[in-house]
Amino acid sequence: MTRAIKVDWDAAPTEIVKTLAAQATRLETPCGDGAMVWHRWDGPAGRPPAVLLHGGWGAWTHWIKTIPALALDRTLLVADLPGMGDSADAPEPHTAESLSNIIGDGVEALLPGGAPYHAVCFSFGGVMGAWMAARHGERCRSLTLTGAAGFGDLHFVVTGITVPDPSWDHDRIDAVHWENLRLLMFADTEGIDPLALHVHRQNISRGRIRTRRISLSDGLLQALPRVVSPIGGIWGSADSTGGGVCDILKRRDILRTYQPDCPFDIIDDIGHWVMYEAPDIYLDALRRHLAVHEEPLE
């Protein structure tokens, strides 16, 4: 029987993160001169695990609202991508393919023998996941893109983002991060709660790799012709990087040039960090996507 993950969402943000991490197994795979860090939450056997890849300047905590419920369905392998979170820096030059190879090598080490998995990828992680899926072929059972970057000119550049000076006092730094979350991540500012602010501030402070160049590139578009995995998309209609619903639909149409029947959900009035701002709606959509491509393990 799968043990439910216990989280007191009314606790202090540091305690929420600590409690959730304590219920995972911390794993390491090679990354440059150090290690790439993963967290594994064990779910029921019989279904392929999900590999969750976060966005730029993020960490595993981008998925914090998704993990407890999704782990009831299947085992989760949730990464800190190279140069972010607790993971070591990646060798330069940093390209979509070279970074994704580190991640793909990690999956091969953690899921040996060609074991299948689902890739669920957010923002910058979408570029990483697309290249990883291209490399792994049919063992990647599905690739679900969530507010994914790498669509070239379709990526809307958000202006006004400010990097706070570390010498500023705590409240001033929090105010800057709150404004950045408003501009980039959320459609409704009511969703910017203390946990979101804490997660974002911690992730930014530990980010050491500049992902923007890859996010603004057509890196995902370059990988798509090589992907044989079933593809799906989930976007918030108010995603700040999406450029509006019309441009989000252009992304859908691009995916459907390769896979005409690929599922694609647009969640009304939700921003870029869709799985945090609307976790229940997001999980409903994600579960539908995974169910389409689900085949029980032997």
Predicted confidence (pLDDT) per residue in 215-272, tens digit: 999 999 999 999 999 999 999 999 999 999 999 999 999 999 999 999 999 999 999 9
pLDDT score of 1 more than 80: no
Mean pLDDT of 65-80: 98
If you average pLDDT over residues 151-156, what whole number do you get? Answer: 97
In whole angstroms, give the CA distance from residue 108 to residue 245. 37
Residue 169 counted as domain residue = yes
Q: What is the mean pLDDT of residues 58-68?
A: 98
Cα separation, 6 vs 184, in Å, equals 30
User: What is the percent of the chain where pLDDT is above 70?
Assistant: 98
Q: What confidence score (pLDDT) does residue 292 get?
A: 84
| Residue 47 placed within a domain | yes
Alpha-carbon distance of 139 to 171, in angstroms, equals 47
Q: 108-132: per-residue pLDDT in tens?
A: 999 999 999 999 999 999 999 999 9
pLDDT for 293 equals 77
Per-residue pLDDT band for 168 (boundaries 50, 70, 90) equals very high
* 279 — pLDDT class (breaks 50, 70, 90): very high
DSSP-derived 3-state class of residue 105: helix
Residue 2 lies in a domain: no
Report the pLDDT value the prediction gives residue 295, as an integer from 0 to 100. 66
Number of structural domains found in the chain: 1
Contact present, 130 and 221 (Cβ < 8 Å): no
Q: How far apart are the first and last CA of the chain?
A: 19
- Where residue 298 falls among pLDDT bands split at 50, 70, 90? low
Measure the CA–CA gap between 183 and 180, rounded to whole angstroms. 5
285 domain-assigned: yes
Q: CATH code at 235?
A: 3.40.50.1820
Helix axes 170-184, 194-206, angle to 10 degrees: 100
Q: Return mean pLDDT, the chain.
A: 96
Which pLDDT band holds residue 297 (cuts at 50, 70, 90)? Answer: low
User: Which distant-in-sequence residues (6+ apart) come within 8 Å of 124 by Cβ?
Assistant: 54, 55, 56, 58, 81, 149, 150, 211, 214, 215
Residue 3, domain member (yes or no): no
In a domain? residue 179: yes
- Mean predicted confidence (pLDDT) in 44-54: 96
Question: What ranges make up the beta strands (E) of the chain?
Answer: 25-31, 34-41, 50-53, 76-79, 117-122, 140-146, 231-236, 264-267
What is the 8-class DSSP label of residue 286?
H
User: Stretch 39-52: mean pLDDT, rounded?
Assistant: 96
Max CA pair span of the chain: 56
Give CA–CA dist 153/254, Å, rounded.
13
Mean pLDDT to the nearest integer, 19-47 = 97
Q: Does 43 fall in a domain? A: yes
Alpha carbon distances (Å) from 181 to 28, 160, 200, 272: 30, 11, 8, 10
For residue 188, being part of any structural domain is answered with: yes
pLDDT at 235: 98
Could you list the residue range(s) of the whole structural domain that residue 130 is in?
13-292
